Amino acid sequence: MVFDLRWAPARCLRAGAPVHPGRGYLAQVGPVSAGKFDDVNHPVYSMGVAAEMLGVTPSFLRGLGEAGLLTPHRSDGGHRRYSRHQMALAARARELVDEGMTLAAACRVAGIEDQLEAAHRRIVQLEANDQTTT
């Protein structure tokens, strides 16, 4: 079994977790789901982190949501979380805005490009399946 080992404060510890003297507590937090690391749709980035990575303001990200390009996942506390796929869409929208497009137009173009890419992936997948069955 694979475990994710993280430094955690005492309140996060399970009974019997190993202690590293002078540096904090090392807690076993359970099995790592490899799928989450590979899943581009898994929401991992908070709004602040996403905005910093993209070089935009949080209000820009909220604008992308209002324009319909992004629908961020909400954490249990109600905070927005963005996936790598959403970050790529936001980065593309920012490029288009930087080139002079309005936010609404940039969102429309980025959304259509994303749909086209998904359609191409699906066609390739169907063609591959068709070749294996013949």
Angle at 73 between CA 61 and CA 95, to 5 degrees: 30
* Contact (Cβ atoms closer than 8 angstroms) between residue 90 and residue 80: no
Q: Which of 3.90.920.20, 1.10.150.530, 3.10.450.200, 1.10.1660.10 is the CATH number of 45-133?
A: 1.10.1660.10
Amino acid 6: pLDDT: 38
Residue 102: how many CB atoms within 10 A of its CB?
11
DSSP letters for 18-85: -EETTTEEEEEEEE--HHHHH-TTS--EEHHHHHHHHT--HHHHHHHHHTTS---EE-TTS-EEE-HH
34 vs 24 pLDDT, higher one? 34
Indicate the pLDDT class of residue 130, thresholds 50, 70 and 90. Answer: confident
Predicted pLDDT of residue 34 = 56
Cα–Cα dist 31/1, whole Å? 7
**What are the domain boundaries of the chain?**
3-32, 45-133
Q: Is residue 131 very low, low, confident or very high in pLDDT (cuts 50, 70, 90)?
A: confident
Query: Higher pLDDT residue, 31 or 114?
Result: 114
Contact present, 50 and 87 (Cβ < 8 Å)? yes
pLDDT by residue (tens digit) across 37-75?
A: 678 888 889 999 999 999 999 999 999 999 999 999 998
pLDDT of residue 35: 64
